Structures are given as structure tokens and as C-alpha cells.
Amino acid sequence: MLEDAERQALRRALEIAADPVVPLGPNPRVGCVLLSPAGEVLAEGHHRGAGTPHAEADALSRATVPVTGATAVVTLEPCNHVGRTGPCAEALIEAGIHRVIIARRDPNPVASGGIQRLREAGIDVVLDVPDDLAGAAAALNRGWEHGLRHERPLVTAKIALTLDGRAAAADGTSQWITGPAAREEVHLLRTTCDTVLVGTGTARIDHPALTARRPDGTLHPRQPLRAVMGIGEAPTLPAIDGAGEEIRLLTRDPSAALAELFDRGARHVLLEGGPTLAAAFLREGLVDELILHLAPTLLGAGRPAVADLSITTLTDRLDLDLVDVTPLRSPEGPTDLRLTLRPRIRPSPPAN
């Protein structure tokens, strides 16, 4: 059971770990807060990307008083290996830390082992944290953890559609199917992903900026990589000061595109292309999460939200698990629904 000061310190560690100026990608986001035996904050630190001090080392370097007997509150298990920096577990031991509260174990087999090392040194290690804080620690690095397990980025597909499943009217117009609240949420969603991916058709027809903007139109501090996939002709994306880098993926193969992005350090890809791109990834089983913005309107005809999935019979349908439904209310527009879904994994047929 954590003390109030320890819970507050963990909330703060999660907050600083999510600093919007810290780049996403192949390194986990981690925060650390050091508490005195009386529960006073001595220092805090967080990891700022590859090659920078880890959160624990950053916090220790910022302490202006001795930390002997202090408690370290961290969002991720301290590492126990030598990489670009030394092992954080050893740094905590050498500093005289008495207690370490850890919100999440490190799933990386190369870096894990910190818990065992701390306990071997006689340090009290606490892993039992409130569910909401444990969940926040898991969500903080879900793209990074997905990459460790699957060696490809986590893929979220975002689709805006009408009640009858249309992404555009018969004449091709699609702006705007959903209201301002849904569009604002898309910009927030882009800040949680390190790459936004569209196809050449979307780039050619919509000329998207693919930036993350605040409601006042200014750019968010964290901007995603802007990727266009396909071998067809596509114009250069709009040149905007502060926007993310633009790259072309000269392939129609979703697996090849993800492999190239993974090699570049991408760990969470947001699909914002049209129905063809969405269908290509869905057919290959490469969509991990769907976010549907459902507008309370009908078109009756027009472009479908998802193109042909090569499904010819009902028994082959792609079932989805509904994770969340949230109304998105706009004072000057319709109340859309945001549906969060995950493709259901079909059980393997029994062996003969």
C-alpha cells in the first residue's frame, strides 16, 4: 500500500515521463521522483531520448542534498545493463536509495533484471501500485512494448464515416463528415503516434498536412513523421515550419512499409489513408486498433470507409471487439461517436 506522498510522486513521474518535447520511437518514456524519508520531493528526472541519461540518473544528478535512505518512484523497472549509459539499478544502489517503487516491469529481456539486483542489494522494492497508475504506466509505452513483442510498430487505423459506412459522398467530397470535436481529437491522437501514414491517393486528392495542431491552429510540440506509402505519383506534402519530416515508402506491401518504419525507429503508426490503405492493412492482419469517428448522418451512396477485404462469405468476416464508445460533442456541429475497437483473434482450428 502506497502512502499519499508516494502516490502523488508516481503521478508526477508519469506526467514528466510524458513530456511532449520528448521524442517517441525506439526508447521507452520513463519518469523518476526521489522522496525523502519524510515524503518530501528531493528531485525528479525523466528520459529524453536515445543517448540521454535515464530517468533515475537524471533525477540523481538533480538532487541538491544527499539521497541516502530516500525512496525512488519510477514508472519502469530500472535497467540492469550497460548500453549508452550505465545500469540504473547500480546507480540507485550506489546512491544509497532505501526503497524503490516501480509501476511496471521492463519487458525488454536485455534491460530487465533491475528488480532482482535491487533486492539482492537489500533495497525494498514495491511493485503493488494502484490499478489506475499501473494502467497509465502501461499506456505510456504501449508502442514501444508492442515493438519488443512483435518487431513491428503498433498500428492504429483512424476512420471517419457516416452511419451507412461512407467515407465520402458520390462526388468525392469528404470534408467534413465529422464535427470539430472529432477533428480536434485526431490532432491529439497524432501527438501519441510517432508516424502518420497515408497512401498516394490520399496525398494526391486531399493534400493533407499531417501535422498535430492545437485548437488555436498552432503546432503541438510533438510532431509525427509524415509518411506516404505507394508507388503511384503523389505530390509533396505541404511545407510547414515545424512539421514532421516527410518520407516516401515506395511499396504497396503493408509488411514492407512497417518494416521500413520500424527500422527508422517508429513504434506507433497511425493510418489516416483512405479505404484502400485501411483494407490493405486489415487484410494482412496488421491493424491492432481501430478508432472510428461515426457521424450521425447518411449519404446513401459514395466511397465506402473500407475497401474490399476479399471476404466472400459471412463465416470469414472480420469480427471486432468493442473497447470503448464515447460521444464527441461539438457546440457548432453534430455529436459524433468515437468507437475504439480491436480485431478479434480467431482461435486456431483443432489439430487433426
Q: 18-34, pLDDT tens digit by residue?
A: 988 887 888 899 999 99
User: Got the DSSP string for 72-85?
Assistant: EEESSPPP-S-SSS
What pLDDT shows up at residue 352? 54
Catalytic residue among 3, 6, 44, 56: 56
Residue 45 pairs in a beta bridge with 32
Give me the residue label for grid cell 453534430.
334
Looking at residue 58, its amino acid is D
Q: Encode pLDDT of 101-151 as tens digits.
A: 999 999 887 767 899 999 999 999 999 999 999 999 999 999 999 999 999
Tell me which of 3.40.140.10, 3.30.530.20, 3.90.1150.10, 3.40.50.1780 is the CATH number of domain 4-144. Answer: 3.40.140.10
List where CATH 3.40.430.10 sits in the chain: 151-343
List Cβ neighbours of 131 (8 Å cut-off, separation of 6 or more): none
56 is catalytic: yes
CA separation for the pair 290, 198 (Å, rounded):
15
What pLDDT shows up at residue 82? 67
Q: Flag the least confident range among 146-160, 238-252, 324-338.
A: 324-338
The chain-wide mean pLDDT, for the chain, equals 90
Which class in CATH covers the domain with range 151-343?
A: alpha beta
Q: Encode pLDDT of 307-340 as tens digits.
A: 888 888 998 899 999 999 999 987 776 789 999 9
Give me the residue label for grid cell 468493442.
322
SS3 call for 279 = helix
pTM of the model: 0.88
Ramachandran category for residue 13: left, alpha or beta (phi over 0 → left; psi -120 to 50 → alpha):
alpha
Looking at residue 196, its amino acid is V
For 58, half-sphere exposure in the C-beta direction (CA atoms, 13 angstrom radius) is 22
What pLDDT shows up at residue 83? 63
What pLDDT shows up at residue 151? 95
What pLDDT shows up at residue 137? 95
SS3 call for 289 = strand
List Cβ neighbours of 265 (8 Å cut-off, separation of 6 or more): 25, 26, 194
List Cβ neighbours of 287 (8 Å cut-off, separation of 6 or more): 155, 156, 157, 271, 278, 281, 343
Residues 33 and 25: beta-carbon distance below 8 Å: no
Q: Encode pLDDT of 186-229 as tens digits.
A: 999 999 999 999 999 888 888 899 999 998 889 998 899 999 99
Q: Which residue in 35, 36, 30 sits closest to 14, CA to CA?
A: 30
List where CATH 3.40.140.10 sits in the chain: 4-144
CA separation for the pair 99, 258 (Å, rounded):
41
What is the biggest distance separating any 2 CA atoms in the chain, rounded to whole angstroms?
Answer: 70
CA separation for the pair 64, 61 (Å, rounded):
8
